Amino acid sequence: MSNQLSGLDRVFVELGEWLCGFGDGACMSGYGAYVWLSVLVTVVAIAINIWLPIRARRRWLARQRDEHELRAAQASGDRADA
């Protein structure tokens, strides 16, 4: 059947046939490739949305650490000058 199709459709049908090898739960009546792609894209988007604020917080903390170290270095430099 997949030989009559072209492009993306063929990929989906072949992927669906491959998923059917894992049993009914993965096969989803031959629609497995469509269903699992939707789930995969959603899970990736959820993961990115969780990771973005974590990264932003880490960057803010790194900036604060740099500023604290700079201020501490300046303070010790001032004391040495005095």
User: How long, in residues, is the chain?
Assistant: 82
Q: How far is the CB of 6 from other proteins (least distance, A)?
A: 14
Burial of 47: CB neighbours in 10 Å, binned 0-12, 13-18, 19+ = exposed
Q: How far is the CB of 57 from other proteins (least distance, A)?
A: 5
Q: How far is the CB of 81 from other proteins (least distance, A)?
A: 25
Binding residues vs other proteins (CB under 8 A): 8-9, 12, 25, 28-32, 34-35, 37-39, 41-42, 45-46, 48-50, 52-54, 56-57, 60-61, 63-65, 68
